[in-house]
Amino acid sequence: MIAVYPGSFDPITNGHLDLIARGSRLFTRLIVAVLENAIKEAPLFSVVERLEMLREVASPFPNVEVDSFHGLLVDYAVKRQAGVLLRGIRAISDYEYELQMALMNSRLSPGVETVFLMSSEAYSFLSSRLVKQVVSLGGNVSGLVPPVVEKRLKSLVARSV
């Protein structure tokens, strides 16, 4: 079974990495797919930078592939012959949004299922947006993001000072 775990991953957090690790155990192949989305706020990292970081942190998982896509997620999933979309749920507010997306995706492509994994308790509060806010205010994100991401975040902060 092939699954796609989509997201902006701007930046990748330890919560994302936890889902990648868990998803890699559940599926034959897990494709971590960076959404090239012009609608969201200006990204902190380019798609190329996010792909580089994801490839580095996902390297311990031999059945995980990193890729990017634009357009409809279900079209990408069908193109990659994936039958499952993997999504993480941290809180009730995530569930409401993810349910709407899952139902729309099911309508667009009935053969693609959405599977929700609950966030590990340690990361239930964590989001890329929160990491960006903490970093922009000079806070410490050690333990919230993989070391390679923390290094790049510190480099960004140093350049902006």
Q: What pairing do the DSSP bridges indicate for beta strands 84-89 and 113-118? A: parallel
Residue 55 annotated to the active site: no
Listed residue (62, 65, 64, 67) closest to 50, CA to CA: 67
Q: Is 70 a residue of the active site?
A: no
33 within 8 A of 69, measured Cβ to Cβ? yes
At CA 100, angle to CA 94 and CA 106, rounded to 5? 125
| Catalytic option among 8, 24, 119, 128 | 128
Among 40, 70, 129, 151, the active-site one is 40
Set 22, 55, 80, 90: catalytic member: 90
* Active-site entry in 16, 50, 87, 132: 16
How much of the chain is in helix, strand and coil states, percent to nearest 5? 45, 20, 35
The residues assigned a catalytic role are 16, 40, 90, 128
